[in-house]
């Protein structure tokens, strides 16, 4: 095993200019023409990983997203390489022995000292080749299309260390360049599952991360619109809309705009049924009671339009009113509501249909 006693600066340059079209004059696709030199990443053999309990699956496709996690472990002051390797072993043990997975779930691990490590076996070689994708176990249904990065620490209210941040930017930039991933396709775990991960502090910096990666790779950045995460005791129109959507499904919940009690219980049950809550992908378990978000919203929002009536329409009207648009709160999708929905869609850059579909719900709630 080769160990590097001193962590080297990982400054990398674009390997080539970006083409202006899908295929440049050389015949090389844009995603391939922007390849970068690889950052320093310790392999599974270097950190003495266990062998997988069954074969690792390699998909014959490139991933299109990156999902950022935190390990929900202690914010250690030990920034050594040895500590980073021990962290990787602890995560793998937890995933294999407690979650029953075949290997560690994430594709890569990033320590508070800025050390980058391969996670699931084969991830490093496959990333280096830039043509396929190692199927991980870190973000539910997104596993087949996304790379997962575990960042050491708990960032609910703690500052992100500079070393960890710099290596995260570098690793994401390399992934984006290798696979042609859009710089705006970097998400937090909570965008897909009902979890606090990667913590409020790190999550709040994801727009900054996307911009930094875009700048490093010469890619334009379109910040994504994502479903909101509702945490215990949060109040407001999003909660009211949730309650009305639950009632539209026949669930008995109050309409008081508070995410607690019965509302929290019913929303959590449905999220679990829809696969929006899963086994922890973190190095240690951190209790996350009663959260609602991610694909839970996908299972809840119906398509409503002219002629519709009921609590789902009231949810639309509640959200429109909260955005300063006048509509009657009468649970009827009549002329005024149709008109305001069309105005909202036009302002949001959506197809102007007057029908509240998934994309419109996402904009109303996001």
3-state secondary structure of 61: coil
For residue 212, the tally of other CB atoms under 10 A from its CB is 21
Contact 312, 245 (CB under 8 A): yes
**Strand order across the 146-151 sheet:** 41-42, 116-118, 108-110, 146-151, 65-70, 186-188
- Residue 58 sits at φ, ψ, to 5 deg, of -110, 120
Cis amide linkage into residue 198, ω under 30° from 0:
yes
Element (H, E) at 109: strand 108-110
* pLDDT, block means (10 residues), the chain with 366 residues: 34 32 37 70 98 98 97 95 97 93 97 98 98 95 96 96 98 98 96 92 98 96 96 96 98 97 94 77 63 92 98 98 96 98 98 98 96
Q: What is the CA radius of gyration of the chain?
A: 22
Q: What is the DSSP letter of 224?
A: P
Q: How far apart are CA 74 and CA 284, in angstroms?
A: 9
> In degrees to the nearest 10, what's the CA dihedral of 22, 26, 27, 31?
-50
Summarised one tens digit per residue, pLDDT across range 41-85 is 999 999 999 999 999 999 999 999 999 999 999 999 999 999 999
Summarised one tens digit per residue, pLDDT across range 281-333 is 665 556 666 889 998 999 999 999 999 999 999 999 999 999 999 999 999 99
pLDDT at site 159: 98
Name the pTM for this structure: 0.88
Q: How far apart are CA 284 and CA 365, in angstroms?
A: 31
Summarised one tens digit per residue, pLDDT across range 111-121 is 999 999 999 99
């Amino acid at each position: 095993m080769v160990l590097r006693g001193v962590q080297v600066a990982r400054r990398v340059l674009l390997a080539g200019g970006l083409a202006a079209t899908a295929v440049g004059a050389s015949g090389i696709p844009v995603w391939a023409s922007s390849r970068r030199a690889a950052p320093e990443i310790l392999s599974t053999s270097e950190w003495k990983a266990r062998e997988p309990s069954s074969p690792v699956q390699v998909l014959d496709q490139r991933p299109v997203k990156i999902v950022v996690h935190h390990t929900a472990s202690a914010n250690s002051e030990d920034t050594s390489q040895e500590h980073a390797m021990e962290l990787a072993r602890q995560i793998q043990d937890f995933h294999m022995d407690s979650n029953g997975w075949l290997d560690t779930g994430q594709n890569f691990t990033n320590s508070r000292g800025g050390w980058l490590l391969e996670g699931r076996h084969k991830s490093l070689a496959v990333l280096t080749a830039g043509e396929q994708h190692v199927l991980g176990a870190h973000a539910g249904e997104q596993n087949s299309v996304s790379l997962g990065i575990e960042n050491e620490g708990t960032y609910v209210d703690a500052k992100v260390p500079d070393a960890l941040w710099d290596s995260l930017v570098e690793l994401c930039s390399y992934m984006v360049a290798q696979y042609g991933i859009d710089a705006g396709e970097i998400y937090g775990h909570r965008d897909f599952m009902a979890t606090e991960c990667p913590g409020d502090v790190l999550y709040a910096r994801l727009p900054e991360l996307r911009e930094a990666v875009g700048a490093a790779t010469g890619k334009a950045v379109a910040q994504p619109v994502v479903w909101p995460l509702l945490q215990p005791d949060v109040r407001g129109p999003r909660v009211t809309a949730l309650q009305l959507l639950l009632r539209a499904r026949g669930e008995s919940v109050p309409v008081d705009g508070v995410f607690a009690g019965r509302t929290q219980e019913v929303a959590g049950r449905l999220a679990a049924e829809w696969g929006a809550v899963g086994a922890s992908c973190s190095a240690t378990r951190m209790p996350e009671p009663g959260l609602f978000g991610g694909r839970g919203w996908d299972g809840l929002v119906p398509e409503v339009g002219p002629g519709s009536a009921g609590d789902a329409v009231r949810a639309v009207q509640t959200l429109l009113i909260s955005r300063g648009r006048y509509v009657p709160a009468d649970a009827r999708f009549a002329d005024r509501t149709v008109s305001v929905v069309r105005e909202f869609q036009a302002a949001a850059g959506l197809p102007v249909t007057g029908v509240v579909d998934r994309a419109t719900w996402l904009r109303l709630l996001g």
